[in-house]
Structure 1
Amino acid sequence: MDIVVLTTITACLFVVIAAAEPLAARLRLPYAVILAVLGMMIGAGAIFFLRTDLTDALNPVAEAILNLPIRSNVFLYVFLPMLLFQVTLGMNLRRMLDDWVPILMLAVVAVVVATLSVGYALAWASPWPITVCLLIGAIVSTTDPSAVVGIFRSISAPRRLARIIEGESLLNDAAAIALFGLFMSFVMDNVPDPAFSSALGRFPMLIAGGAVTGWICARVAIWTMTLFQRFELAQISLSVALPYLAYILAERSVGASGVIAVVAAGLTLNLMGPGRLAPSAMTNLREVWDLLAHWAGALIFVLAALLIPRLMEEVRLDDLGLVAAVALAAIAARVVILFGLLPLLTLLRLSPMVERPYRVAILWGGLRGAVTLALALAVTESVHVPVEVKRVVGILATGFTLFTLLVQGTTLRPVIRLLGLDRLSPIDRALSNQVVAVALQTVREDVARTTETYDLSHDIVRSEAKRFGERLDEAVKTADADAEILDRDRVTLGLVALAGAERDAILNRIRDRTIPLGLAERMLSNADRLIEGARTGGRSGYRTASKASTGYSRAFRLAVVLNNRLRIAGPLARLTADRFEDLLIQRLVLHDLGGFIEARIRRIHGRRVADLLQELLERRDEALETALDGLRLQFPGYAEELERRFIRRTALRLEEREYRSLREDGLIGAELFAVLMQEIDRRRAAAEERPRLDIAVRKADLVRRFPLFAGLDEAALRRLARALVTRHADPGEVIFRKEMPARSVFFIASGAVEMEMAGQVARLGRGEMFGQMAILTRRPRRAEVRAIAPSTLLVLDEARFRRLLSSSPAMREAVLESAARRGMSPEKILPAEAPAA
């Protein structure tokens, strides 16, 4: 085809795409349905003008439209990776993991059940071989992401419902395309009785191989992007290459699912990108992908719809009955999964409950589109498939796609409305009314200040103020009518807002580059956990999530084991430094939230809720201080190094802001600005380097460094090192309790402990001793000691401790000081064989 003609047609298609969006809004129909209808009209019009005798003037245009190079590979290799990748970039994976069981059931099990249901229904209703029927079942079993995602985002469906539908449409393509390839090979080879068991055994390899390929490709791409931190266009270009390379490598080299590879690559970039790339780069990258996917989704629908009149040309009356059989079998398969399997899994506590209205909406929202048409087109293009099989596959796949788009797609919005899924809950509605009342009050105050500033006409101001006051009074009355909201619900809503404000504060600090990019992912994950905990569990859920944010992860505990047992210190040093920095920045963020509670929460939810949230915030701050104290005791001086680093990063941000302001005001030129920014980048790269944390614990060296063991000769130090026993304590572990018999003394090699005695709490850190007083007074323990950080303790038995006490003046002095702090006389604690010197 001539390049000028192809360019002209492409430009005209973009005009159609531009006109479809306002048309869909005016007709209140899904955008994808409007695109499909316009595409079918264009295709049918081209066929009509090419075959009519009315005029020949439009024949060149009609021939050009019908001869567009639309092949199945164009859909599968050009458009599909782009659509899948963009959807994964915009997903909240952490929220989607809450519903991973129903998503997996719909994406894999439902595809297999639909394939078998449609296949055997057609085998019963038609003379076609079972392989052909199952091939059709595989083609029509996949929901289309561009159709489903676009429609559910346009009708304001509940977020959880949209997430389930989006997750299904993303992942079920892999299962459907795998089944399609299996049955297509059977049809082309004319296998009458295929062995399905061995072929289905390839599923794990298809999925696992695709996931690993996508993850590796994304990790390599992210690593490369970090080398181009100053070149955002280069980073965006790499992101465009990523889904295509992952798709092709998985399909052609690994023999796995290209769809799963693209999804895995997109999810990896979604999760790791904010922690590795600059915030502006990630924002611009997502904006570019939103635009690319908008064009790709629109083009794939228009081009696929152009094929529909051609594929339906040879339709017969009995074919319509088969289309109805396909539709009934496909819907029945989804009914079995949604109303049979999912409730059973919920009953067995293997899956979260999916409410009945959600299941009805998911049933009716299983739309087919370009992917189904692309697979059908691949069959019609094959020279190894009989002509009659091509015809029936094209007609049934196209007919069922039309049914889902024109029947289900156009009625999905009324179904959502009928199910009540488009309405706010009573709590959200009451909150909305209160927010409107508070916002209008703030606007009225700002308008009053504006009129005074600009000295506007008093008559105009008075008339507008009256109208605005009437609206405000109405909003206040509505809010007062909702005053019966339970305090518990108000607290929940306030906590969700507070957690959201914390996430925004973290994002602002990431944009300002005062939070290291490597730490951003963990902090955002903690903030998401707080939001979800508050939303699902209220106050208790928020507390649990806040404890997790200061707690120790499984990776940290594993690193402790590697360090203590195998002397592999690298992972623990890195995770400990991360924890140090995380806690410091959490403390700074929490200090910013107090103002949010006073300025926002108090005005919307009242004083009582605000005071309660302040109390929760203070408890979080106390927990943070406890965790930080444990680290400070364990590694004295390291917190100060991190605080200096934070100040340097803040100073660089302020310096950069000042240079930009001077540049915008025209006080410095572009050349000088470029030089100054290069210097800022150089110093920022230096500030990114975190000070090294030394956590190595070598017993012999540690004994020599202990001030308590000063004065011992080398032979005594060696004997002491052999006598000391190493004990490792996890955070929260009780080392000994009150009234326990005293048989050992403990020296803190690393970590920190908290001692509680007589209602008072003391914290001890690296290099200090505890447990000696009970031994010296020959009484049971009077204190309870627990670790507040991963700690390594050196334990010395009673007999050796007494001998050490008699030979170490420094130890004797430490014991005397400890006794004096507790008001005890030396005579009561020093053994007779070791009189005070």
Structure 2
Amino acid sequence: MSIVLVTAVIAALFLVIGAAEPLAARLRLPFTVILAVVGLLIGSGAIFFLRTDLTDALNPVAEVILALPIRSDVFLYVFLPTLLFQVTLEMNLRRMLDDWVPILVLAVVAVVAATFSIGYALSWAGALPLAVCLLVGSIVSTTDPSAVVSIFRSISAPRRLARIIEGESLLNDAAAIALFGVFMGFVAIGMPAPQLGEALARFPFLIFGGAAMGWLSARLAVWVMALFGRHDLALISVSVALPYLVYIAAEQLVGASGVIAVVVSGLTLNLTGPGRLPPQAWTNLREVWDLLAHWAGALIFILAALLIPRLLEDIRATDFALVAVIVAAAIAARAAILWGLLPLLTRLRLSPVVDRQYRAAILWGGLRGAVTLALALAVTESAAVPAEVRRLVGILATGFTLFTLLVQGVTLRPVIGWLGLDRLSPIDEAVSRQVVAVSLQTVREEVAHTTEAYALTHDIVRSEAKRFGERLKDAVEAAEASENILDRDRITLGLIALAGFERETILARTRERTISARMAVEILSNADRLIEAARSGGRAGYQRAARRAVGYGRAFRAAVTLRNRLNLSGPLMRMTADRFELLLSQRLILRDLDAFIDGRIRRIHGRRVADLLHELVARRIEGVETALEGLRLQYPGYAEKLERRFIRRTALRLEEREYAAMRDDGLIGAEAFTALMQDLAARRARAEARPRLDMALQRTDLVRQFPLFSDLDDTALRALGRALRTRYLDAGAVLLHRDDAARSVFFIASGAVELQSAGQSWRLGRGEMFGQMAVLMKRPRRIEVRAIAPSIILELDEDRFRSLLARSETVRDAVRASAERRGIDPADLGADRPGG
């Protein structure tokens, strides 16, 4: 085979890829469908020219096309890791977790249901061995990520719908390939009726083994990439090697799911990469992967379509009926999951609501593609499978794939339109008219200023102003016709716009390095959550999402449990430091929102809506300030270190801007600018490092601020800081129960607690002490203590408390005052004696 012809054919395929995208846009068809049709035509044309007597001139080209090494392992080991890895780098995992239940149901339960539904339907309709029918079911049960993701992105589907489809298409390959491996074994050794339990027994190892392999490999890769520092090409090279090596290792060395390993490695890099790698390097890495995935997705469809004519060569009339059975069974199984199981899970409050329009789009969006063809090709390549089974599997899988691409794929855009998922709501449409009117008014003012500044010809200005005025008049009339929008709807749309501006501000601050890329991921997730909460729940939904953004999540509570019960401080230290930086970044962003409200929203929605949004932003700022103040009280000094870091990073950004301006003005040369930027990069690398939160040192600083310990010297304070044990309580958590043995005394470092005893209750706050009476009187506790806010409590055991009592007059005074308030003689406690 001539290398010249092979190179020419591959180059021609890239020309086809380049032409297919604008052709798809012009015909308003999915890009992948155009590629599949082109590949089908190329494959059919190659076979035609080899078999015709009309001409032999194109025979060498046709031979090269048909001799291309298109095998199942090429699809599974070369193209599939590329597509999966790139999609995981683009995913917003935190937003995906909001819909993890429907995603897992569609990715696992729906695949199993479709496999067995198709298998038993084929067995009933065609009298085929059940193992063969289930094998076909496993092959056609997986939706193709390259087909589904590209189509839903091209039609601008709602974000949540696209997330569910992307999540399903990423994870269902693992379930389908696992089932395929089981049933392929049954068919190869001739066992006719496998059991469901046998088919599913390997699932845990396949999934968890692949996940462990992917996570460990990605962590190692990120560590290596961080060592390479500012060598962008080296970082990108490591990222390119990662998905292929982890796929091969999981499949060949461990025997786990390579698909799951690639997905988990991509998600791990997505979560950890922005915080460990330079921002520009991370941007370049994602751009490279976008290009690789574009080429891989296009080639996989063209090459897979080249196989279709060969797979369908021996098709028979009865095979069409079997393809129809597969179509009916697949749609029925998917519909049963979407309209049966998901609503049931929603009623049981185990899953968020998935709207009917979304479910209909998901049903019709279950496209198959190269993965299905690759698995079918693996069957046709196996000598252990009977010839008739190879023929039938190839024809049925190919026929069903063609139906999903040429029928569902072509009609998906109209179906989305019929469901109304691609149209603005009446409210959005009405407000868009007002936005256009306000924008055109602003444009007219700026154009008038420009014409005056440049003294343009009067006649030209007048004619253009007339034309523009007519357009502005039409826009104003359309806006006036839409003034019947309810204030509630205006508030909702104003909140959506405000959250959108907040998102753009976060991106801008990240680009200028005021906010670290690591924190930007979390804050962007919060902004996305604000947008969707406002869209679905209006003002109340927005406020819930805003409270969630500053609240303590489950992960933080789990870290607190590890610290309290196992004395593992690492996770809590990292999450507390993250919370500090997150709150500081949020405060910075929120300060920019008032100007947007006055500059834009007031002109579109009016003063009343603008004032309400100002009030909501003020509440958010107050919540952030309160949360920050609580952290400052818990960890004095650490907030100051973070703020100093923020100031240094801001100064470096301004310094870089000044150097760039001087270079552009010709005040410094290229050599001097390069030297300055190298020095700036070194200082920036030092400034980027976040100070470490040492809870032990912070506890000592905290102890110094307690009025109770004001008369202790530095040595005693350090010893006390080491002796105190830190307890972290969430709001509502119970610290002490009635009749508990009295072994410790407690000091409130931050937060507040409520004490209940004999029908009475009272509250204590920061700097106060409780539990000392039961310890000194040596009796069981008669109170129950519950946190009424997130609190940090310092615990001191009985022996050390008695030692403290002996050394500190201030503590003895506090104990005496507490005893007198309760009608107890301090002499009974021994608190009035230094040795007591």
TM score, norm. by length of structure 2: 0.86
**C-alpha contact 1:275 1:521 (8 A) present in aligned 2:** no
For residues 470 and 714 of structure 1, the distance between their equivalents in structure 2, rounded to whole angstroms, comes to 79
For residues 20 and 480 of structure 1, the distance between their equivalents in structure 2, rounded to whole angstroms, comes to 43
**C-alpha contact 2:635 2:698 (8 A) present in aligned 1:** no
Determine the structure 1 residue equivalent to 2:166: 166
Q: Per the alignment, in what secondary structure is the counterpart of residue 794 of structure 2? A: strand
For residues 653 and 712 of structure 1, the distance between their equivalents in structure 2, rounded to whole angstroms, comes to 45
Query: Alpha carbon RMSD of aligned pairs, Å?
Result: 3.9
**TM alignment of 1:5-404, pairs within 5 A:** 5-404=5-404
For residues 785 and 306 of structure 1, the distance between their equivalents in structure 2, rounded to whole angstroms, comes to 67
For residues 714 and 149 of structure 1, the distance between their equivalents in structure 2, rounded to whole angstroms, comes to 63
For residues 278 and 643 of structure 1, the distance between their equivalents in structure 2, rounded to whole angstroms, comes to 21
For residues 585-626 of structure 1, the C-alpha deviation after alignment (integer angstroms, 9 at most, x for no partner) is 322222122112111221222211111111111122222222
Determine the structure 2 residue equivalent to 1:792: 794
Query: In the alignment, does 2:732 pair up with 1:730?
Result: no
For residues 434-481 of structure 1, the C-alpha deviation after alignment (integer angstroms, 9 at most, x for no partner) is 222222122112211221122112222222222212222222222222
- Comparing 361-370 with 703-712, greater Cα deviation is found at 703-712
Q: Per the alignment, in what secondary structure is the counterpart of residue 63 of structure 2? A: helix
For residues 677-732 of structure 1, the C-alpha deviation after alignment (integer angstroms, 9 at most, x for no partner) is 221122122223444545338999998996755668999x89x989x998956365
Determine the structure 1 residue equivalent to 2:609: 609
For residues 91 and 399 of structure 1, the distance between their equivalents in structure 2, rounded to whole angstroms, comes to 32
Determine the structure 2 residue equivalent to 1:584: 584
- Comparing 605-614 with 354-363, greater Cα deviation is found at 354-363
Sort the Cα spacing of 1:812 and 1:207 in 2 relative to 1 into closer, same or farther, 3 A: closer
Determine the structure 2 residue equivalent to 1:750: 749
**TM alignment of 1:646-795, pairs within 5 A:** 646-696=646-696, 708=708, 728=727, 730=729, 748=747, 750-751=749-750, 789-792=791-794
Offset of 1:328 from its aligned partner?
Answer: 2.0
For residues 142 and 338 of structure 2, the distance between their equivalents in structure 1, rounded to whole angstroms, comes to 16
- Comparing 807-816 with 555-564, greater Cα deviation is found at 807-816
Sort the Cα spacing of 1:811 and 1:660 in 2 relative to 1 into closer, same or farther, 3 A: farther
Sort the Cα spacing of 1:551 and 1:367 in 2 relative to 1 into closer, same or farther, 3 A: closer
Offset of 1:323 from its aligned partner?
Answer: 1.9
Sort the Cα spacing of 1:596 and 1:754 in 2 relative to 1 into closer, same or farther, 3 A: farther
Task: State the one-letter code of the partner of 1:381.
Answer: E
**C-alpha contact 2:92 2:525 (8 A) present in aligned 1:** no
- Comparing 627-636 with 216-225, greater Cα deviation is found at 627-636
Offset of 1:747 from its aligned partner?
Answer: 8.3
Q: Per the alignment, in what secondary structure is the counterpart of residue 696 of structure 2? A: coil
Q: Percent identity?
A: 68
**TM alignment of 1:394-793, pairs within 5 A:** 394-560=394-560, 563=563, 568-696=568-696, 708=708, 728=727, 730=729, 748=747, 750-751=749-750, 789-792=791-794
Offset of 1:795 from its aligned partner?
Answer: 11
Offset of 1:70 from its aligned partner?
Answer: 1.0
Query: In the alignment, does 2:827 pair up with 1:808?
Result: no
Determine the structure 2 residue equivalent to 1:779: none
Task: State the one-letter code of the partner of 1:627.
Answer: A
For residues 470-510 of structure 1, the C-alpha deviation after alignment (integer angstroms, 9 at most, x for no partner) is 22222222222222222222222222222232233233222
**C-alpha contact 1:174 1:259 (8 A) present in aligned 2:** yes
For residues 536-588 of structure 1, the C-alpha deviation after alignment (integer angstroms, 9 at most, x for no partner) is 33222322332233333444445555555665555444443333333333222
**C-alpha contact 1:735 1:787 (8 A) present in aligned 2:** no
For residues 702 and 631 of structure 2, the distance between their equivalents in structure 1, rounded to whole angstroms, comes to 18
**C-alpha contact 1:376 1:393 (8 A) present in aligned 2:** yes
Task: State the one-letter code of the partner of 2:429.
Answer: R
**C-alpha contact 2:345 2:351 (8 A) present in aligned 1:** yes
Offset of 1:152 from its aligned partner?
Answer: 2.1
Q: Per the alignment, in what secondary structure is the counterpart of residue 340 of structure 2? A: helix
Task: State the one-letter code of the partner of 1:584.
Answer: L
Offset of 1:51 from its aligned partner?
Answer: 0.9
For residues 696 and 263 of structure 1, the distance between their equivalents in structure 2, rounded to whole angstroms, comes to 38
Q: Per the alignment, in what secondary structure is the counterpart of residue 592 of structure 2? A: helix
Sort the Cα spacing of 1:753 and 1:49 in 2 relative to 1 into closer, same or farther, 3 A: same
Sort the Cα spacing of 1:549 and 1:711 in 2 relative to 1 into closer, same or farther, 3 A: closer
For residues 814 and 261 of structure 2, the distance between their equivalents in structure 1, rounded to whole angstroms, comes to 66
Sort the Cα spacing of 1:583 and 1:35 in 2 relative to 1 into closer, same or farther, 3 A: closer
For residues 802 and 386 of structure 1, the distance between their equivalents in structure 2, rounded to whole angstroms, comes to 85
Sort the Cα spacing of 1:357 and 1:750 in 2 relative to 1 into closer, same or farther, 3 A: closer
For residues 350 and 185 of structure 2, the distance between their equivalents in structure 1, rounded to whole angstroms, comes to 36
**C-alpha contact 1:492 1:535 (8 A) present in aligned 2:** yes
Sort the Cα spacing of 1:348 and 1:166 in 2 relative to 1 into closer, same or farther, 3 A: same
Offset of 1:349 from its aligned partner?
Answer: 2.9
Offset of 1:251 from its aligned partner?
Answer: 0.9
For residues 140-164 of structure 1, the C-alpha deviation after alignment (integer angstroms, 9 at most, x for no partner) is 1122122222222222333333222
**C-alpha contact 2:492 2:538 (8 A) present in aligned 1:** yes
**What are structure 2's unaligned runs of at least 5 residues?**
736-741, 755-762, 773-785, 818-831
For residues 283 and 96 of structure 2, the distance between their equivalents in structure 1, rounded to whole angstroms, comes to 21
TM score, norm. by length of structure 1: 0.86
**C-alpha contact 1:708 1:814 (8 A) present in aligned 2:** no
Q: Per the alignment, in what secondary structure is the counterpart of residue 792 of structure 1? A: strand
Task: State the one-letter code of the partner of 1:366.
Answer: G
**C-alpha contact 1:113 1:333 (8 A) present in aligned 2:** yes
For residues 292 and 726 of structure 2, the distance between their equivalents in structure 1, rounded to whole angstroms, comes to 58
Offset of 1:77 from its aligned partner?
Answer: 0.8
Task: State the one-letter code of the partner of 1:78.
Answer: V
Determine the structure 2 residue equivalent to 1:4: 4
**TM alignment of 1:821-836, pairs within 5 A:** none
Task: State the one-letter code of the partner of 1:485.
Answer: I
Q: Per the alignment, in what secondary structure is the counterpart of residue 303 of structure 2? A: helix
For residues 711 and 53 of structure 2, the distance between their equivalents in structure 1, rounded to whole angstroms, comes to 114
For residues 82 and 333 of structure 1, the distance between their equivalents in structure 2, rounded to whole angstroms, comes to 30
Sort the Cα spacing of 1:537 and 1:469 in 2 relative to 1 into closer, same or farther, 3 A: same
Determine the structure 2 residue equivalent to 1:826: none
**C-alpha contact 2:702 2:749 (8 A) present in aligned 1:** no
Offset of 1:301 from its aligned partner?
Answer: 0.9
Q: Per the alignment, in what secondary structure is the counterpart of residue 375 of structure 2? A: helix
For residues 283 and 415 of structure 2, the distance between their equivalents in structure 1, rounded to whole angstroms, comes to 35
**What are structure 1's unaligned runs of at least 5 residues?**
737-742, 756-761, 773-783, 817-832
**C-alpha contact 2:230 2:281 (8 A) present in aligned 1:** no
Offset of 1:90 from its aligned partner?
Answer: 2.1
For residues 790 and 179 of structure 2, the distance between their equivalents in structure 1, rounded to whole angstroms, comes to 54
Q: Per the alignment, in what secondary structure is the counterpart of residue 790 of structure 1? A: strand
For residues 208-242 of structure 1, the C-alpha deviation after alignment (integer angstroms, 9 at most, x for no partner) is 22222222222222222222331222222222112
For residues 720 and 298 of structure 2, the distance between their equivalents in structure 1, rounded to whole angstroms, comes to 74
For residues 573 and 150 of structure 2, the distance between their equivalents in structure 1, rounded to whole angstroms, comes to 46
Offset of 1:302 from its aligned partner?
Answer: 0.9
For residues 403-439 of structure 1, the C-alpha deviation after alignment (integer angstroms, 9 at most, x for no partner) is 2222222222222222222221122222222222222
Task: State the one-letter code of the partner of 2:749.
Answer: S
Q: Per the alignment, in what secondary structure is the counterpart of residue 696 of structure 1? A: helix
**C-alpha contact 1:319 1:396 (8 A) present in aligned 2:** yes
For residues 196 and 10 of structure 2, the distance between their equivalents in structure 1, rounded to whole angstroms, comes to 43
Offset of 1:267 from its aligned partner?
Answer: 2.1
Sort the Cα spacing of 1:554 and 1:109 in 2 relative to 1 into closer, same or farther, 3 A: closer
Offset of 1:167 from its aligned partner?
Answer: 2.1
For residues 747 and 222 of structure 1, the distance between their equivalents in structure 2, rounded to whole angstroms, comes to 43
- Comparing 289-298 with 149-158, greater Cα deviation is found at 149-158
Offset of 1:252 from its aligned partner?
Answer: 1.1
